[in-house]
Amino acid sequence: MLAPILALSLVASATFDSEQTIEQQTAFFKSQTNGQYARVMALKSSAKNALEQACRNALTLPQRSIIKNTLAKKLNIALPESVSFIDAEIMDYKQEKQQEWLTCTGVVTPAAQDINEAGLAVRAAWQVGSQKDKANLRPLLQVALNHPTTMSDAVALAAVLSPEEQRLSYLDKYLKASELKLDEAKASVAQTWFVNERYKQVISLTQQCESIDCKRLNLSAQTEFDNLSADDLSSYF
């Protein structure tokens, strides 16, 4: 009997009609956050199984906003609206479902400020790097290149923005492939390796990546590697 009472008190304690409430809506979820409380609603039936993760993410919205505003102020630039990042632990997490809403609470403890700023910077850099206007790219890239947790992803971006004939040598000199985290970084490195016929490296790297580009490169590299192996075998006859 105690668990339902605690759950009901959680929903009753959460208020989302104040000026402090942060609202966010994506294609899959509607989220509202106020202090240590958040609630989320699935906008598509396919998203219902991910409600708990969405509620955990919603709890981090205030801290994400702080990280973003702090980095933007430090660099004196505007960051892409769609980019956010946080490395954090959520302690004492509790949740309760009420009709279409999942309400949750927890104490968000962010990782060190430099880790979160670098993580945000490298993600923003990749987005800005894909745009025509790259005016804000340099300061973001500098932050990411100068932090050990994001250096490899930043090196991958610097390489893809370099002249094509220089990309492989740049990666060979500066990249630690085992430290790549972003799927877009892995795909760009794999593309450069594929063009230079490093098929085994492409296969190994793209197995750690879930993007469509990685899956395509993995299949292409496997085909090319198998063809090379067949050619080597035919030379014995």
Q: Quick: pLDDT tens for 70-105.
A: 999 999 999 999 999 999 999 999 999 988 999 999
Encoded tokens for 84 = 């956010």
Q: Give the pLDDT confidence score for residue 35 in this predicted structure.
A: 86
Convert 88-97 to b/e letters by CB count within 10 Å (16 or more is b). bebeeeebbe
| In the chain, where the domains are located | 27-114
Residue type, 66: I
Q: Could you give the C-alpha distances from 10 to 37, 54, 64, 88, in angstroms and in order? A: 9, 17, 23, 22
Q: Give the pLDDT confidence score for residue 231 in this predicted structure.
A: 56
DSSP-based three-state secondary structure for 75: helix
Q: Quick: pLDDT tens for 163-200.
A: 999 999 999 999 999 999 999 999 999 999 999 999 99
CB 58 within 8 A of CB 70: no
Q: Could you give the C-alpha distances from 41 to 28, 44, 112, in angstroms and in order? A: 9, 9, 31
pLDDT band at 9 (very low <50, low <70, confident <90, very high): low
What percentage of the chain has pLDDT greater than the value 70? 90
Mean of per-residue pLDDT scores for the chain: 91
Convert 35-58 to b/e letters by CB count within 10 Å (16 or more is b). ebbbbbbbeeeebeeebeebbbbb
Q: Quick: pLDDT tens for 46-59.
A: 998 999 999 999 99
